[in-house]
Amino acid sequence: MRYRTLGRTGIKVSAYALGAMMFGAIGNPDHDDSIRIIHKALDAGINVIDTAPVYSNGESEEIVGKALKGRRDTIVLATKVQPRTLVSGPNPTADDPNRGGNSRRWITTAVEDSLRRLQTDWIDLYQIHRPDPDTDIEETLSALSDLIHAGKVRAIGTSAMPASDIVDAQWVAEQRGLQPFRSEQPTYSILSRGIEAEVLPVAQRHGMGIVVWSPLAQGLLTGRVRRGQQTDLRRTAIFSHMRDERRLDAVEKIIPLAGEAGLPMTHLAMAFAIAHPGVTSALIGPRTMEQLDDLLAGLDVTLTDDILDRIDEIAPPGTDVGTLDMAYRPPALQQPGLRRRPADERSAA
């Protein structure tokens, strides 16, 4: 296993990180089986586990907490602050609009809930799951800084944060003497390379670690989803990006490239994700032991410059081929003044 430093934190993390989204009701509901998968990943040298309270409404955190009994000290444990949206299953914010988001009011409650479910006294990396335009970033950073000072959190990070917001947050942290964000967790794959344009360069300039999610493009880069073929791939029907013609066209070009390289599609995709100098770790999200075994078999794969150049021809650097279903989309502007001049000024013009 290769280990890298998470930004400037001094924390060493494995190039593959274990994502726990598929442990629980929305993925593998068998707790014992999920724990076996976690233990095998740890035995293989993975030392990062990333979860979130929205994954099966806290069940994922509970499973991870059980799995880490007796092994907590050697693991870099990451979880997130529940956003107002992106909730799987029954929406807990339906009756309480303050149950979610990045306010101090919610963060101080949410961290205690996560600590209880994870059965731990501290979280190594606590991330805001999505930007919250309704909350001043200074309030968020102040609340997170207090958690670090209290010893409940070791480092803080973001997820799906636009480059401009990252710059703003780092400036606020410096000017107000608050703890800065140490990491960002964006989506990144052969098909989703948009972060190469701004997010990765900005994160590198600010010394932030990058832990990317969905390096397999939610299953498209497994090679099991093909143009014009019926598939029984789990959950395919609800993922519209798997019917995106542009993405399917790209996959049809990547499949023979993987064959020429003598690699399974999954190994090609994972090796690509960790090849960028700005990427620290790439999350794998196995639901079954077989999926984990396949991914672990590609740990030592390194892509040649020729293969990377061929990938660039299929999916140009800094661009997205279509849009991933779970990618963050900023909310539409609600204030007319942000998108049009007042009526009297328009008529005068």
Cβ neighbours, 10 Å, residue 222:
17
Residue in 55, 126, 188, 328 annotated catalytic: 55
Which residues lie below 8 Å from residue 51, measured CB to CB, with a gap of 6+? 19, 20, 21, 23, 60, 61, 64, 78, 79, 80, 118
DSSP per-residue codes, 50-119: E--TTGGGGHHHHHHHHHTTTTGGG-EEEEEEPPSS---SS-TTSS-TTSSSS-HHHHHHHHHHHHHHHT
Q: Is the separation of the CB atoms in 133 and 112 below 8 Å?
A: no
Which one-letter DSSP state was computed for residue 13? E
Beta bridge partners of 80: 127
Strands (E), 222-314: 281-284
Torsion angles phi and psi, residue 313, rounded to 5 = -70, -35
Q: CA 165, 76, 149, 132: dihedral to nearest 10 degrees?
A: 30
From CA 273, how far away is CA 275, in angstroms rounded? 6
Concerning whether 16 is annotated as a catalytic residue, the answer is: no
From CA 172, how far away is CA 324, in angstroms rounded? 30
From CA 137, how far away is CA 231, in angstroms rounded? 44
From CA 200, how far away is CA 195, in angstroms rounded? 6
Beta bridge partners of 134: none
Which residues lie below 8 Å from residue 163, measured CB to CB, with a gap of 6+? 198, 199, 201, 202
**Positions marked active-site:** 55
